[in-house]
């Protein structure tokens, strides 16, 4: 038996063992990662559905905000502060390029809430002309957490007055308005009076996505490798043994 598998110690086979081990490890890690993403997506979907059925929040709730209120629905009243409106760049709608329009809703002289009122096509983003209704506004919206730059991504200037940003960063927008903003922002669902120039934002997706299928795929690759490689070694050993025995004389 030892003679049959003596080829395993040859340099080229040692390289093959290491490469196979590396691939199997990569397959397993990729499968675990995709399964983790599937679980995270499932938990997020549950939060979206559960919190959207909770009792409506008020402006006071937003100023004592924490992550547990994301996706909750809120009812607000106030006045649009059109002069403080900003555009959030590189936002798509049904695969079309555009931007989001974010406007503070001033509830009283001392505070406001940033509201993403809708999506604009790229042509409107480049030549921004948007008139908001005057007078009192009442709206229903969805609470979202302020966005932050990750390890990569476009940077916004840390000073000055910006008319467009790479993300809905409430704290950065708060630097250029004259009243405190709630630490979260709101995605508009419906308002009175209505906004007619901006397309309503789509609700957060609640599909599970392809992550579970990808996880199964990577685990199958691992299974094929863990079973197939020993079979390859066994076949090679038998082939070598047959060559060592040579042809059988009649």
Question: What is the model's pTM?
Answer: 0.73
Q: Of the ranges 45-49, 111-115, 240-244, which one carries the lowest mean pLDDT score?
A: 240-244
Alpha helices for 70-142 (secondary structure H): 122-126
Q: Which residues pair with 184 in a beta bridge?
A: 145
**Cα separation, 49 vs 72, whole angstroms:** 9
Q: Which residues pair with 116 in a beta bridge?
A: 102, 187
**Cα separation, 162 vs 85, whole angstroms:** 10
The average confidence (pLDDT) of the chain is 85
- Token pair, residue 2, equals 């030892």
Of 54, 90, 95, 86, the C-alpha closest to 71 is 54
**Cα separation, 245 vs 228, whole angstroms:** 26
Tell me the per-residue pLDDT of 126-161, one tens digit each, with 9 for 90 and over.
Answer: 877 777 888 899 999 999 999 888 778 788 888 899
Tell me the per-residue pLDDT of 57-77, one tens digit each, with 9 for 90 and over.
Answer: 988 889 876 668 888 999 999
- pLDDT value, residue 124: 84
Q: pLDDT at residue 3 above 80?
A: no
Element (H, E) at 190: strand 181-192
Q: Are 110 and 60 in contact (CB under 8 A)?
A: no
């Amino acid at each position: 038996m030892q003679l049959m598998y003596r080829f395993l110690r040859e340099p080229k086979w040692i390289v093959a063992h290491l490469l196979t081990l590396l691939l199997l490890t990569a397959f397993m890690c990729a499968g675990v990662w995709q399964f983790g993403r599937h679980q995270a997506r499932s938990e997020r979907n549950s939060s979206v559905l559960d919190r959207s059925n909770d009792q409506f929040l008020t402006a006071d709730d937003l100023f004592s905000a924490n992550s547990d209120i994301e996706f909750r629905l809120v009812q607000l009243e106030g006045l649009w502060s059109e002069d403080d409106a900003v555009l959030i760049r590189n936002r798509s709608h049904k695969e079309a390029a555009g931007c989001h329009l974010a406007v503070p809703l001033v509830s009283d002289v001392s505070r406001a809430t940033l509201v993403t009122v809708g999506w604009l096509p790229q042509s409107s983003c480049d030549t921004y002309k948007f008139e908001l209704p005057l007078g009192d506004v009442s709206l229903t919206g969805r609470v979202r957490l302020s966005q932050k730059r990750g390890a990569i991504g476009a940077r916004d200037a840390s000073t000055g007055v910006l008319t467009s940003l790479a993300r809905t960063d409430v704290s950065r927008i708060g630097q250029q308005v004259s009243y405190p903003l709630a630490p979260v922002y709101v995605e508009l669902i419906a308002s009175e009076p209505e906004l007619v120039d901006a397309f309503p934002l789509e609700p957060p997706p609640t599909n599970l996505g392809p992550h579970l299928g990808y996880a199964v795929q990577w685990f199958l690759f691992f299974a094929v490798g863990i079973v197939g490689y020993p079979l390859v070694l066994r076949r090679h050993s038998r082939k070598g043994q047959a060559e060592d025995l040579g042809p059988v004389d009649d």
